[in-house]
Amino acid sequence: MSLLTELEAHAPEYIEWRHTFHEHPELGLETPWTADLVAAKLRSFGIEVTQGVGGHGVVGVLEGSLGPGRTVGLRSDMDALSITETGECPWKSRKPGLMHACGHDGHMTMLLAAAQYLAAHRDFKGKVVFIFQPGEEGAGGALAMIKDGLFERFPVDELYGFHNWTDVPVGEVRCRKGATMAGQDFFAIRVKGKGAHASAPQLSADAALAAAMITTALQQIVSRNIAPLDSAVVSVTKIHTGSAFNIIPETAEVGGCTRFFSDETGALIRERIEAVTKATAESVGCRAEVEFTPVAAVLNSNARLAEELLAAAREVVGDEKASFADIPQMASEDFSYLAREVPGAYGFLGGQAPYGASNLHNPQFDFDDRVLSTGAALWVTIARRRLAAS
């Protein structure tokens, strides 16, 4: 019997776990209920558990029965999103305004299923470290766990991560060597001008005009400052200004995010946003300040470990369903910070959104339960292959 067939016999149990997570989403770094449930399940498997790592992070450590060897880390995210669920699944979110719209409920379930299997089959050398991280969605969860001594307290030789992905066919696996997902910054621009009556614009320094001009000016950064073959994104996603129809506003706020595939490009984009913003504001008599918040570094997969990840995937799903992706993903993941601390590789597991959503972060999104056993088998196979080589 293959590992995947063996795990598929437990699919109803995994589906129940996933639906429970889906019904009880928690946001950002504040995931106490989720962390307690994850920890309780790990303990029930006989795994040593530490809670409260970097806030609500959970770490489980499982020792093999064949003596010392390599230590392999497997990481799942835990947090949900500030989205009101509009799908009609029976396990719909019970918390208005919050939902698992990115599949982290499935990620947790797959890693717990792998932990359950490995705890029952400890015939390997070394250790497996199961890392359950809050705050992946821009809340700094990876950095919080690192700051709390994650890898000093639970050292690993190599680290792996996975994400469900709707652009990959169901049950297939993709990974990359090198740049795998983009780095990302948030930017916040505050414009200060001079308010006036709308009938007397000559007396104003129009913050609304400055905000509009800044929004337009930022669009030339990628087209005129970034090399054509070096992909990047600058997106303005919010503009807030004004309070009445007949008042020229004194202040305005512009916000958005950037994406890039090298530290050098990220630094150049930051430099150009600040210069363009200040010069544009000054051209209409306003002042502007820019603040950047790093959200994710460029996620670079270690070439050797990417090969190992792909070899494990081919063992589970077959050679024809596992391959290296042609291009990196413009989306971001703070697994990138973890992979800067220890060698790491990241992969994508294909799944679809059954309730009409075509992509992640959609109010109708729901994880594809058909691939829970596949994901668990991937985790188990990576761990056992790498620890057999200890």
Percentage with pLDDT > 90 across the chain: 94
Answer whether residue 355 shows pLDDT above 60.
no
Burial of 341 (0-12, 13-18, 19+ CB in 10 A): middle
Instruction: Confirm if 60 and 92 have CB atoms less than 8 A apart.
Output: no
Element (DSSP H or E) covering residue 188: strand 183-192
pLDDT value for 15: 98
pLDDT value for 265: 97
Instruction: Confirm if 271 and 279 have CB atoms less than 8 A apart.
Output: no
- The phi and psi torsions of 377 (rounded to 5 degrees) equal -65, -35
Number of Cβ within a 10 Å radius of residue 352: 17
Residue 161, token pair as written in the block: 């991560």
Number of Cβ within a 10 Å radius of residue 139: 19
Answer whether residue 96 shows pLDDT above 70.
yes
Answer whether residue 358 shows pLDDT above 80.
no
* Per-residue model confidence as pLDDT tens digits over 235-246: 999 999 999 999
Q: Mean of the pLDDT values across residues 97-121?
A: 97
> pTM for the whole thing?
0.92
Answer whether residue 356 shows pLDDT above 70.
no
pLDDT value for 308: 97
Angle 360-6-169 (CA atoms, 0-180°, nearest 5)? 30
* Per-residue model confidence as pLDDT tens digits over 21-58: 999 999 999 999 999 999 999 999 999 999 999 999 99
* Per-residue model confidence as pLDDT tens digits over 205-214: 999 999 999 9
Could you list the residues known to form a binding site, using ranges: 102, 104, 137, 163, 361
Q: Mean of the pLDDT values across residues 101-114?
A: 97
pLDDT value for 230: 94
pLDDT band of 352, cuts 50, 70, 90:
confident
Could you list the residues known to form a binding site for Mn(2+), using ranges: 102, 104, 137, 163, 361
pLDDT band of 110, cuts 50, 70, 90:
very high
* Domains of the chain and any CATH numbers: 3-180+299-387 (3.40.630.10), 183-296 (3.30.70.360)
CA dihedral 53, 119, 352, 83 (to 10 degrees): -30
